[in-house]
Amino acid sequence: MKNKDSVIIVSGGMDSITLLYDMHERIALGISFDYGSNHNAREIPFAKEHCERLGIKHVVINLDFMPQYFKSSLLDGADAIPEGHYADDNMKSTVVPFRNGIMLAIAAGIAESNGLKYVMIANHGGDHTIYPDCRPEFIASMSEATKNGTYPGIEILAPYKDITKGDIALRGKALGIDYSRTWSCYKGGAVHCGKCGTCVERKEALLYAGLEDTTEYEEARR
């Protein structure tokens, strides 16, 4: 444990699971947030599974107030999720206002409470245009705030902030990650829908990395 200096926000999706394996030697604690989205129940079990596999303690923090006070299609049921690519304007409806800011603030408090120094988050370059709280300038500002607002100077590490999801998939390929044990779909059904922005992005990333896509998609069932 002497080399463990970080907590990680781990959703159970491709990006955070890749970062979990990439940095596991430094990670003391994996934190998942249940904020009432359509897909939390599908992805959090994967976060738990991979943390356990790596011998990393995993906790789930309930943010069930968010659907009551926050406006986002991500919190309004599967039928509210738009279909299409992240480049499409309609995907902006999936933004949960300041979600990462809330999660990072909580994670920073947990890091300080456990004698740790860093909070890791797996936002990537493709997130920047649609999600304001994934952009490098936000992460830098938030890190400055947590550094100034904690006794040990907690810092936020976002190693993937300047690379694409395809690049992350390449990293996962090198690490031997089984991406079938991750979840992406925002609709949160029995299987991936194959049509929402996260499903489209998942397909493109796996193709880019030359990985066989073994994800079960709803569209393939028809």
Query: What's residue 88's pLDDT?
Result: 58
| Annotated binding residue 196 | yes
Query: What's residue 86's pLDDT?
Result: 63
Q: Specify the residue for token string 């030697």.
A: 25
| Annotated binding residue 73 | no
- 27 forms beta bridges with 6
| Annotated binding residue 130 | no
CB 32 within 8 A of CB 53: no
| Annotated binding residue 12 | yes
17-41 per-position pLDDT tens digit: 999 999 999 999 999 999 999 899 9
| Annotated binding residue 18 | yes
Q: What is the mean pLDDT of residues 36-63?
A: 97
Q: What is the mean pLDDT of residues 45-72?
A: 97
pLDDT surpasses 80 at 169? yes
| Annotated binding residue 185 | yes
| Annotated binding residue 79 | no
| Annotated binding residue 51 | no
62-107 per-position pLDDT tens digit: 999 999 999 999 999 888 888 877 665 667 888 999 999 999 999 9
Domains of the chain: 6-221 (3.40.50.620)
pLDDT > 90: percent of the chain? 82
| Annotated binding residue 199 | yes
- 59 forms beta bridges with 31
| Annotated binding residue 106 | no
171-190 per-position pLDDT tens digit: 999 999 999 999 999 999 99
CA dist 101 and 173 (Å) reads 30
| Annotated binding residue 6 | no
Query: What's residue 2's pLDDT?
Result: 67
Query: What's residue 83's pLDDT?
Result: 84
CA dist 26 and 8 (Å) reads 10
| Annotated binding residue 17 | yes
Residue 195 CB contacts under 8 Å (≥ 6 apart), including other chains = 83, 84, 219
| Annotated binding residue 134 | no
pLDDT > 70: percent of the chain? 94
142-154 per-position pLDDT tens digit: 999 999 999 999 9
CA dist 129 and 148 (Å) reads 28
pLDDT surpasses 90 at 126? no
pLDDT surpasses 60 at 56? yes
Q: How many CA atoms lie within 13 A of 191 on its CB side?
A: 10
CB 175 within 8 A of CB 211: no
Query: What's residue 221's pLDDT?
Result: 53
H helix and E strand count, the chain: 8, 5
